[in-house]
Amino acid sequence: MSSVSEITSGLGVVLGLGDSILEGPGDGAYSVLPRPWAQWLAVALDVPYHGVAIPGITAPELLREGLPRVAGRRYGLACVGIGTNDVRDPGWDASRYRAALAQLLDGIDAERTCVATVPHDLGRPRAGAKVSELGRIIRDEARAREAVVVDLDDLHGWRLVMPDAVHPTALGQVEIADRAARALGLDVLPSSLVEIRGGDVRHAVTRHAPMVVRDWRRRVQDRS
């Protein structure tokens, strides 16, 4: 297991770099605060957090707009999550994504780096088989740089993912943080800091059902 000191050497800051998944949900669930998974890791490690998350952004765009904001800084842990918007684009270009991801990872100065994959059951309508291709690219580029992969291939279910099948709920963000902590070999899990309150029925009625309605309306508008 990795000690906290190994991650928090240098400036001891956790970086969250990516798209809206690393921005976090708009509200909580089960009384869990709406934090992105990288910030939950910072809380568990008791270190500062620097979030650079831009909703709707692709890897090439993050390279241009996000990476300059972290250039010249040293991090204890860098958490990267990018690819959701790339792979949902009808013009998905695997080679373009790979090149951008490689440059992003090469441009980050961190003691350790972890990169999250994207759930296979992504989007409505589903992104399809190209998500597996995205995952292979992430694993290849992470392995080449000795970065840790946070496996989200099987992340699904209404408690963890919103009805759009893209954005994690507040509880889903904690689940991702736990997966990252295990992948990094940390001796602390973010979920140990969370007290889950409120049952599934209450969540389904007060949170999930309204989100289903909003997402259904969005899909109707998209088709019209």
- The fraction of the chain above a pLDDT of 90, given in percent, is 75
pLDDT for 159-202, tens place per residue? 899 999 999 999 999 999 999 999 999 999 999 999 886 665 45
pLDDT at 1: 45
Q: Can you point out the beta strands (E) in 38-193?
A: 49-53, 75-81, 110-116, 148-150
Q: How far, in Å, CA of 51 to CA of 18, rounded?
A: 9
The encoded tokens of residue 118 equal: 């994207």
pLDDT at 131: 98
Cis omega (within 30 of 0) on the bond before 210? no
Domain ranges of the chain: 4-196
Q: Are 102 and 141 in contact (CB under 8 A)?
A: yes
CATH architecture of the domain formed by 4-196: 3-Layer(aba) Sandwich (3.40)
Other Cβ atoms closer than 10 A to 145:
12
- Helix and strand tally (H, E) in the chain? 9, 5
